[in-house]
Chain A
């Protein structure tokens, strides 16, 4: 999607290793979000950010941490990956809190 990119697009990692996913935007949007999407659960919010160094937890934040040192980058870290964190991870951005979100193309993460 134009203006928002996620990297890597695919990753396979071993249980117990740390993993960092990157979301980069060129839209200068204030709000950024990390979601995971799983069959039967839909989209679930992990963490979100409402400004540089300002972040908060979502409904499924255990085992995840985030950082936002620049407006354009929002990093999601799995501190010690587990098989239950195998999922598709989406980053999203929004200009204002009531705006619709623009989603990235997703990162497909497999923890073996």
Chain B
């Protein structure tokens, strides 16, 4: 079983739709959870950063972490064609030791006008 699972998509939605992107993971030691957005031929950019369980909202974006289910989500409200990109989840253990980020493989999102 891979550590982080993410549906590759593509996920196609019309403009204005609510989008739900998800990742599941197996490592219960993960404490820091992130979402990155990557446009074609560009580097990933950090979109959302959360620690432990709960919700975090930033404009049209909401990140949700459910550690009991080992499941994280990114919701995009009022989706725009400019949201068309690949979204990668990432997580790390933190703690006293050093751990690097573990990335999902990304979900491609296509928002049509």
Give the dominant DSSP class at B's interface: loop
Q: What's the nearest-Cβ distance from chain A to residue B109, in Å? A: 16
In the complex formed, the residue of B with least CB distance to A50 is B98
Q: What's the nearest-Cβ distance from chain B to residue A41, in Å? A: 7
A67 part of interface (Cβ distance < 8 Å): no
Q: What's the nearest-Cβ distance from chain B to residue A95, in Å? A: 12
In the complex formed, the residue of A with least CB distance to B6 is A42
Cβ A103 vs Cβ B44 within 8 A: yes
Cβ B105 vs Cβ A42 within 8 A: yes
Given contacts A40-B105, A42-B105, A42-B106, contact A97 B43 (CB under 8 A): no
18 contacts between A and B (CB under 8 A): A1-B43, A1-B45, A33-B100, A42-B103, A43-B44, A43-B103, A45-B100, A48-B100, A58-B100, A90-B44, A92-B43, A97-B94, A97-B98, A98-B31, A98-B94, A101-B101, A103-B43, A105-B42
Q: Which residues of B contact A (CB under 8 A)?
A: 31-32, 34, 36, 41-46, 49, 88, 92, 94, 98-101, 103-106
